[in-house]
């Protein structure tokens, strides 16, 4: 199974291309069923338009690795939560300019200040809100806390 995880670790989130589906918490499980590989994906929210791309990219990575029978199950319960973001995902997101909710407030990915404010509940994608840092005045996306 290690080679399958390694193949899938190269599949990045299409909206934040610096984090893998596993780091995002969307890739929940991988199982072998005979010759087939079964993936369990939980979208960041039910209407996530990127889920189809995630599935296609995962299938392509596995097919390129010699796994031609891929079954993808979309699991909606339990619902995805920002608690599933790995520490590495949070670090990479901050470096990319996207903040993740955490205890102590929303920290600006540019300067680290928690003196931030909401500009809009609707950001660049449906799973993000738009914030502004009061300290450095830079706008930035924040993954919505779910």
Flag whether 6 is in a domain: yes
Task: Give pLDDT, residue 103.
Answer: 78
Domain enclosing residue 108, as ranges: 97-143
Q: Do 48 and 8 reside in the same domain of the chain?
A: yes
101 pLDDT above the threshold of 90: no
Which letter, b or e, does each residue of 60-82 get, where b requires 16 or more Cβ atoms within 10 Å of its Cβ? ebbeeeebeebebeeeeeeebeb
127 pLDDT above the threshold of 90: no
Task: Give pLDDT, residue 27.
Answer: 96
Task: Give pLDDT, residue 1.
Answer: 66
* Rounded Cα gap, residues 47 and 82, in angstroms: 16
Q: Long-range contact list for 49-53, CB < 8 A, 24+ apart?
A: 49/126, 50/13, 50/14, 50/15, 50/125, 53/14
Kindly state the tokens that stand for 140: 């930035």
Q: Do 108 and 62 reside in the same domain of the chain?
A: no
74 pLDDT above the threshold of 80: yes
Task: Give pLDDT, residue 51.
Answer: 93
Flag whether 91 is in a domain: no
When pLDDT is averaged across residues 37-55 and rounded to a whole number, the result is: 92
Count of other CB atoms within 10 angstroms of residue 109: 20
Task: Give pLDDT, residue 84.
Answer: 94
42 pLDDT above the threshold of 80: yes
Reported pTM: 0.87
When pLDDT is averaged across residues 62-89 and rounded to a whole number, the result is: 94
Per-residue confidence band for 108, with pLDDT thresholds at 50, 70 and 90: very high
What are the E-state strand segments in 51-110?
A: 70-74, 98-99
Q: Do 8 and 59 reside in the same domain of the chain?
A: yes
Task: Report yes or no: 116 and 106 within 8 Å, Cβ to Cβ.
Answer: yes
- The number of distinct structural domains making up the chain is 2
């Amino acid at each position: 199974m290690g080679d399958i995880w390694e193949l899938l670790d190269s599949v990045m989130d299409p909206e934040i291309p610096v984090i893998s589906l596993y780091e995002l918490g969307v890739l929940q499980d991988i199982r072998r069923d005979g010759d087939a590989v079964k993936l369990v994906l939980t979208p960041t929210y039910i209407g996530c338009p990127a889920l189809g791309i995630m599935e296609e990219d995962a299938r392509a990575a596995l097919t390129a690795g010699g796994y031609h029978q891929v079954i993808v199950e979309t699991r909606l319960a339990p619902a995805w939560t920002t608690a599933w973001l790995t520490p590495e995902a949070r670090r990479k997101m901050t470096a990319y300019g996207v903040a993740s909710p955490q205890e102590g407030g929303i920290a600006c990915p540019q300067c680290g200040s928690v003196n931030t404010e909401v500009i809009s509940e609707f950001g660049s994608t449906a799973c993000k809100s738009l914030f502004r840092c009061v300290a450095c005045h830079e706008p930035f996306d924040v993954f919505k806390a779910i």
